[in-house]
Structure 1
Amino acid sequence: MKTARLLVVDDEDDLTELLVMRLNRHGYSTDSAVSAEEALPLLNKYYYDVVIYDIRLPGMDGIELLKRTKMIQPETEVLMLTGHGTVETAIEAMKNGAFDYLAKPYNLSELEITIQKALENKLLKDKNDSMKTIIRQQNDFQIIGQNLKFRELLELTERISDNDLPVLIEGESGTGKELFAKALHYWSSRAEEPFVAVNSGAIPEQLLESELFGHVRGAFTGAVQDKKGLVEAANGGTLFLDELGEMPLMLQVKLLRFLETGEFRKVGDVRERKVSVRVVAATNRDMQKEVEEGRFREDLYYRLNVISLAIPPLRDRPDDIPVLIRHFLQKAKQPGIKIGDSALHALQSYSFPGNVRELHHLIERGLILSRGPVIEEKDLMLPTRSDGRPGLVDGKIATLEEMEKEHIGKTLALMNWNKMKAAEALGISVRNLYRKIEQYALHE
């Protein structure tokens, strides 16, 4: 078995010498440096499995050295030591690819355990590299887009994928939040473990705790046998909490405790159970507003929002519309069908309240209604305003609320006011739809 090679960079000579001696006694091959400038030639000469950097170094600091390391040796796991920085500095290190951090003065045994975890993580990543390539090519997992900001977001997603910190994905309905959650899972070392999605808005409030944590026989009327919850089903993998803003306050307390300890109790049970999951949450709401108005716990919000990904709406990346259309035509096995110039122009001028999901539905409609090899503007049946142009009211650009109100109203009419079908088409929960109907005073 290959001896793991380590590098320690710290300007405290006595502590570094002691650490190097101890690590070598444990079978590692360990080098050391007192500054980033001294470490960089070593990084260019040798391959390291794990490196350990003090955040505060003379000259170039540990954060910059971390960034340089990831450019030179992307696969190397980085541990950060901080006795001077704040939690924010440590989180910045994690965002830039650090595996973990320890506060000084650290316990040597704890550091050795963290090094071993980093080595195990690296081994899993090495085994998973070939599988990542295959997964990225699967049709049900393609994230399509060439827009510069969108690509930068995708690169950030990949950079933080192998990190166990919670991630909050924010974006409007239909932007592809679940795709990004899957990316975080399948591009990580947890890829071979379960990806379990929980839609807080689709499960009745009284059943949500049982669905999430499970229950034991006799816990309530109808609980005739023990049931494993989705948290337990996700053990080893990723738990995706979709429509986070729909979660009842009572359950938010239990979720917070689970996030802090990894422990939970089934409904009706007294025993604590422990699992290892990476939690990713998604919402289409303004969570700061939800917190301010008392509908969401502030402590839970900050616990989940360690790293956030903000998915841009489709109207902010019209240059991606032609790329997405080609993808949808290929997926429909209709690559010979083209989109007409007027239809493309109309789509790029449209505000897309339903985002990518709505574009997909429009292309499906165009395929059905077109009478030749070209989808024309009339085939799309775009929602129109009073002057016949999409996205306008009385010749002026419509507000998002105006667009949302009309879009929801037309969807309800199209579904004959079947709220289950309308909510599904809109990509929101039935509870959320009822709130929108009340907010906009919509009626049959």
Structure 2
Amino acid sequence: MGSVRLLVVDDEKDLLELLGKRLQRKGFKVDVASTAEEAIGLLNSEEYDVGVYDIRLPGMDGISLLKETKSIQVDMEVIMLTGHGTIDTAIEAMKVGAFDYLTKPYNLSELELTIAKSSENKLLKEKNETMKKIIRKHDEFKIIGESPKLKDMLQITRRVAPSEVPVLIDGESGTGKELVAKALHYWSQRAGEPFVPVNSAALPEQLLESELFGHIQGAFTGANKEKKGLVEAAKGGTLFLDEIGEMSLAVQVKLLRFLETGEFRRIGDVRVRQADVRVVAATNRDMEKEVAQGRFREDLYYRLNVVKITVPPLRERKEDLPLLVQYFMGRTKAPEKKLSADAAAALSRYDFPGNVRELGHLLERGALFSRGEIIEQGDLFLLVAGREADLKNDGESADSHKTLEQLEKEHIEKSLEKLNWNKTKTAEVLGISLRNLYRKIEQFNLQK
């Protein structure tokens, strides 16, 4: 009973204070409000199991508050308190979604019993929904392949998953690092709780901090209302920080504090909050180099890198291609189409700078551009500029002695030219984020 969080709303302040104190003595965690508007403020900032609402309130009435509650915290159960003259209104409240109603005057033991029943009902619904989510989610992180390198990686993932240690997933763009993070989550004891991904490269510094830790109203320009951060949304589950190497030093400091203490503050808030979250991070950068050059905190790196899992690039597990092709073709709009022998052979010789993500894009485009039931080599590589030498049937590839960095630079440059330097389309074709493409353009000093 002690873990049940209550919100009690009544405009009779003496009764409200008395009721709040008695319920606290019985072991409940209680917040009180004397108006619906005050209650809505609490609902937007805290999570509750059960609400106890008087139907007659000044301003917004109890029925309207009940409707608002269901839109803010859909799983919260609500008990309505009604006088003898408002029984019809109480029945209306049941139709709107109230768990039960009590007629004044009521005794405390009756209220306690109703609260206990409503809390058990909420817990049962949550368990049912959790089982449904787990069943659905198991289909979302299919890691396809039977190659030795992939099997070794999955073996490490399974061994680490039940633990609580932070994990750093290392690998090139498009290798499937988020799938590995999902496997860590759904093979752990936290499988029934949220898996919350955050792309550190997708947001500027202040927005990333707000996204992670939340903010209070008026904390900065545009902060029109209080916002819960993803750290709180992931409570009890796993927070996946993708592209961690892109995170600013200022946000790194706050993340380190959270990892060490489990404590954080919303932007602009003085209140210290806590969240039980397992952190899994991913990067495609050389993090030791980032640390050496002062772009990433050494203490945070070692805090995140308790266990490192390296996801192999597709060119190092070509034996998985047939299974991957079968999987991706089944997800296209034309799953009945097949690859020609030349197209399959071309794929086996291709180096896949965009890895598994690029393979999915190639097959999707091939299914789209092929005119018949057979996907030809030209259909697959229609928009992949400058890779003809890789796809020839005779002799060694002209690029076989070039470094991976040279190949990546040429591939990005030719793709940009092919698409008339439309960066959004190029990033989509390459299977990388727009921000990552801009970074590559700067890194390779590419110009139109």
Question: TM-score, normalised on structure 2?
Answer: 0.66
Tell me the equivalent position of 1:380.
380
Tell me the equivalent position of 2:290.
290
Matches of 2:225 and 2:173 in 1, distance apart? 37
Tell me the equivalent position of 2:213.
213
Equivalent residues of 1:145, 1:324 under 8 A apart: yes
Matches of 2:342 and 2:191 in 1, distance apart? 43
Q: Which amino acid aligns with 1:277?
A: V
Tell me the equivalent position of 2:185.
185
Tell me the equivalent position of 1:389.
390
Equivalent residues of 1:235, 1:277 under 8 A apart: yes
Shift of residue 333 of structure 1?
5.5
Cα gap change, 1:155 to 1:367, in 2 (>3 Å): same
Cα gap change, 1:404 to 1:443, in 2 (>3 Å): same
Tell me the equivalent position of 1:89.
none
After superposition, where does 1:164-183 map in structure 2 within 5 Å? 164-183=164-183
After superposition, where does 1:152-163 map in structure 2 within 5 Å? 152-163=152-163
Tell me the equivalent position of 1:443.
447
Matches of 1:432 and 1:421 in 2, distance apart? 13
Shift of residue 225 of structure 1?
1.6
Residue by residue over 1:166-194, the C-alpha shift from the partner in whole angstroms, topping out at 9 and shown as x without a partner, is: 01001100000011111111122211211
Q: Which amino acid aligns with 1:409?
A: E
Matches of 2:360 and 2:404 in 1, distance apart? 20
Tell me the equivalent position of 1:302.
302
Tell me the equivalent position of 1:199.
199
Q: Which amino acid aligns with 1:239?
A: L
SS in 2 for 1:203: coil
Matches of 2:431 and 2:378 in 1, distance apart? 25
After superposition, where does 1:93-172 map in structure 2 within 5 Å? 134-135=135-136, 138=139, 140-172=140-172
Matches of 1:360 and 1:335 in 2, distance apart? 13
Cα gap change, 1:420 to 1:200, in 2 (>3 Å): farther
CA RMSD of aligned residues (A): 2.6
Moved more, 377-386 or 313-322: 377-386
Bigger Rg, which one: 2
Residue by residue over 1:212-269, the C-alpha shift from the partner in whole angstroms, topping out at 9 and shown as x without a partner, is: 1111112112222211111111111110000101000111111111000100011111
Equivalent residues of 1:370, 1:379 under 8 A apart: yes
Tell me the equivalent position of 2:332.
332
SS in 1 for 2:389: coil
Tell me the equivalent position of 1:434.
438
Shift of residue 130 of structure 1?
7.9
Cα gap change, 1:396 to 1:186, in 2 (>3 Å): closer
Tell me the equivalent position of 2:233.
233
Identical columns (%): 61
Question: TM-score, normalised on structure 1?
Answer: 0.66
Matches of 2:173 and 2:166 in 1, distance apart? 21
Tell me the equivalent position of 1:264.
264
Q: Which amino acid aligns with 2:438?
A: Y
Equivalent residues of 1:384, 1:390 under 8 A apart: no
After superposition, where does 1:353-432 map in structure 2 within 5 Å? 353-381=353-381, 383=384, 388-390=389-391, 394=398, 396-432=400-436
How many residues end up aligned between the 2 structures? 318
Cα gap change, 1:212 to 1:415, in 2 (>3 Å): farther
Cα gap change, 1:129 to 1:144, in 2 (>3 Å): farther
Shift of residue 298 of structure 1?
0.8
Cα gap change, 1:311 to 1:357, in 2 (>3 Å): same
Matches of 1:395 and 1:308 in 2, distance apart? 31
Matches of 1:202 and 1:353 in 2, distance apart? 21
Equivalent residues of 1:387, 1:393 under 8 A apart: no
Q: Which amino acid aligns with 1:318?
A: K
Moved more, 429-438 or 161-170: 429-438
Matches of 2:280 and 2:273 in 1, distance apart? 20
Matches of 1:169 and 1:380 in 2, distance apart? 30
Cα gap change, 1:266 to 1:157, in 2 (>3 Å): same
Contiguous gaps of at least 5 residues in structure 2: 1-127
